[in-house]
Amino acid sequence: MNKAFQLAVRFLNDISVGTLEAFRHHSTQRPEEFVGEGEIDLLIEELDQIQEKRGVSNGKNKPSAAAKQVQLLERQSALKNEINDVKRTTTSFEDELNYISLTAAVHEEKAKAAREKKLMMQEQRDIKLEDLTRGLVHYTKMGLSYETDMNRMWFKFTQIDPTDPEKEFKFALSIQDGLIYCIEDCIPALPEHILSKHIKELNASTCDDIPTLLRSLRKEFKMSVVTT
């Protein structure tokens, strides 16, 4: 036992892998110096433990404690980086989702406001047309009459041409897209720039001033008779 221990101490001065292998080889060559094979195995195990504590490989490809610590630190650093990447990606997705939700809400509010405004304008114009229909009765004696034709209304004037009081001067008024007034036909024809001027004034008015349009076009018809 003493000889084996002295031999082990001598080999500890050089703890390289080759030294340990030499010791193992030496132990197998001189079995007469040891008490028994079990004691040799125990001594070799003790040497392996000492080398492992000192950070030296024991020849069995087992990583040392220092190497394991480095590996663990590297793995820990890699995991932290992965976690940070996931957090950044998640934050980016959340920001994008919030922006999309906000944009959708804004568009929905605008669409709702536009629908309500259109409905209100249509209701107002329906009321105006009803009022106009009742009011036109009072203009009949003055040579003004009207009739509906599909989605438009014909306004007819007489008592304009002194040489032919019953001659009709008429135009058709329609509403496009439920919002815009348009003159589709005019008989006898008036210059396009005159019709365009008066229809723009009607569409620009805040109260759908159709009576003003009627007075203006009747005046234009009378002036056309005078010029001819």
| Residue 93 structural domain | 63-120
Q: Are residues 148 and 222 in the same domain?
A: yes
CB contact at 8 A, 174 and 152: yes
CATH for 196? 3.30.457.50
Q: What is the mean pLDDT of each run of 10 residues along the chain (228 residues)?
A: 51 48 49 53 69 56 70 84 85 83 82 81 66 64 81 90 92 86 93 94 87 92 85
Q: Are residues 219 and 155 in the same domain?
A: yes
Residue 168: per-residue pLDDT: 94
Contacts 24+ apart (CB under 8 A), 77-84: none
In a domain, 133, yes or no: no
Q: Nearest-CA neighbor of 149 among 193, 185, 115, 108?
A: 185
In single-letter form, the type of residue at position 40 comes to I
Q: Are residues 75 and 57 in the same domain?
A: no
Residue 72 in tokens: 């663990």
Residue 195: per-residue pLDDT: 95
Q: Are residues 110 and 147 in the same domain?
A: no
In a domain, 125, yes or no: no
Residue 219: per-residue pLDDT: 93
217 Cβ contact partners less than 8 Å away, ≥ 6 residues apart: 155, 157, 171, 190, 198
Q: How many domains does the chain have?
A: 3
In a domain, 128, yes or no: no
